[in-house]
Amino acid sequence: MDNPASVSKIDAKEFLRPILFGLMEEDLDELAQAAVEHVFAPDEIIVQEGDEGDAVYFVVDGRVDIVKEFEDGTERFLHSTGPGEPFGEMALLQEGGRTATVRATETTTVLRIGRDPFLKVLGRSPSLSVRILVRLTGRLRDADQTAIEDLSQANEELRRALRKLERLDKTKSDFIQLSAHELRTPVAALRGYAQMMQQNDKAQADPGLRALVEGVVTSTERLHRVFNSILDVSRMIVGGVKLVRSPFSLAVTFVGIQLQFEKALNERDLTLDLVGLEGLPMCSGDPDQVYKLFYHLVNNAIKYTPDGGRITVTGRAVDVDELGPCIEVTVEDTGIGIAPQDRELIFDKFYRTGEVALHSSGSTKFKGGGPGLGLAIAKGVVDTHGGRIWADSPGCDEQTCPGSTFVVQLPLEAPES
């Protein structure tokens, strides 16, 4: 707490005279009479940031630090003030709260002059107003320069951190790509041997052996798909996807996708409806990449739609600003939906909503497991074709199943760049 001196140790008028030179004697007398001497111990707060600006202070002896406080409890030093210097006038003139905290760094004596007498004298003295304005302008200039220097230093630190993160990300991507490539080769061999065993007459004749072989085939095929997905994402990250453009039909593309998921759809009593695809014009793009795009979107719909649900794929020709003539395909399901905070994140690699892996290890089972790469690959394919993709959903609810809709817009012609 500040301690008002019971008996003034200084002549307030004579102390203020050189500081407020040019004031008329009656004005100087009025301020001297309104001045109250206070003494503060080291580290004692004189004014607190946010408090009402009800007075201006003049340092008689000692020093004070002016600091900016942050919500996390940290402080930023602004400047120091010593004998003969005022502080607190900015809040007084703004008629607002204190914008900084002032703390005594040693035993400090100040003169406190309340708002009303100071503003009254200030209104009668243009010269005093100009001096205060010049002082405040200088302080703001110094603060701006300090802020610019701090910002430049922070930007340089951010640039260094970004370069380090880029190197780490490249190292990680290279490792993932190399690992996936090296692992895919022996898995492909295992897959081939397992399929040969599956076709063997002895394996087919023994029900127990047939079940074991089918389990090996299913597992190796799943591993192969995972490694292929990792390689696809890695190529997209490093810009290694090379499109082989040719005309293709989306209707034919979805016939293949429907056949590939036929077993999973039947097992879970799911309906896949294809609407409006037959009459669509031919597209210019990479048929293999576009197949992957819609394969992953349909697989995602199957994964998050409960048994007995419906998935509807609708195609139409549209004109889109900045893209021109496009084919728009929507994949709509009656699944559990997407929470608002997840709508953008679902297209990030390795991102999955909820505890997916705890429910099932099958990629087409309800809330089945997976590496979380399907939608990232889908977005990557759309981006490389110069198109757009987004998701809409009222929200996520496993009881009411509000469903979700994925919209893809692909230009009919190859973009110029």
pTM, to two decimals:
0.54
Q: How far, in Å, CA of 220 to CA of 216, rounded? A: 6
Residue 390 reports pLDDT greater than 80? yes
Which tops the pLDDT comparison, 397 or 362? 397
Q: How far, in Å, CA of 27 to CA of 13, rounded? A: 10
CA dihedral of 206, 209, 214, 217, whole degrees rounded to 10: -130
Q: How far, in Å, CA of 85 to CA of 136, rounded? A: 12
Predicted confidence band of residue 100 (pLDDT cuts 50, 70, 90): confident
- The separation between the first and the last C-alpha atoms of the chain, rounded to the nearest angstrom, is 69
Q: How far, in Å, CA of 290 to CA of 275, rounded? A: 18
What angle is formed at CA 331 by the lines to CA 315 and CA 291, rounded to 5 degrees?
A: 75
What angle is formed at CA 262 by the lines to CA 258 and CA 266, rounded to 5 degrees?
A: 135
| Per-domain residue ranges of the chain | 3-124, 158-240, 242-411
Q: Report pLDDT for 188.
A: 78
Which tops the pLDDT comparison, 379 or 125? 379
Q: Report pLDDT for 298.
A: 95
CATH of 242-411, one of 3.30.1050.10, 3.40.50.300, 1.10.3470.10, 3.30.565.10: 3.30.565.10
Q: Report pLDDT for 416.
A: 60
Residue 242 reports pLDDT greater than 60? yes
Which DSSP string do the residues of 268-282 spell out, in sequence order?
TT-EEEEES-TTPPP
Q: Report pLDDT for 7.
A: 39
Which DSSP string do the residues of 16-85 spell out, in sequence order?
HHHHTTT--HHHHHHHHHH-EEEEE-TT-EEE-TTSB--EEEEEEES-EEEEEE-TTS-EEEEEEE-TT-
Residue 46 reports pLDDT greater than 70? yes
Residue labelled with tokens 């959903």: 393
Q: Report pLDDT for 369.
A: 64
What angle is formed at CA 40 by the lines to CA 37 and CA 45, rounded to 5 degrees?
A: 120
Q: Report pLDDT for 285.
A: 87
Residue 250 reports pLDDT greater than 60? yes
Predicted confidence band of residue 358 (pLDDT cuts 50, 70, 90): very low
Nearest to 253 by CA among 298, 310, 301, 221: 298
For the chain, what percentages of helix, strand and coil (3-state, to nearest 5) are there?
45, 20, 30
CATH 1.10.12 is the classification of domain 158-240: no
- Rounded mean pLDDT of 132-150? 67
SS in 3 state form for 396-411?
ECCCCCCCEEEEEEEE
Which tops the pLDDT comparison, 17 or 97? 17
CA dihedral of 233, 408, 298, 355, whole degrees rounded to 10: 60
Q: Is 136 left (phi over 0), alpha (psi -120 to 50) or beta?
A: alpha
412 close to 281: Cβ distance less than 8 angstroms: yes
CATH class of 3-124: mainly beta
Residue 122 reports pLDDT greater than 90? no
- Rounded mean pLDDT of 67-72? 83
Residue 5 reports pLDDT greater than 60? no
Which tops the pLDDT comparison, 248 or 219? 248
Minimum mean pLDDT range among 226-235, 263-272, 389-398 = 226-235
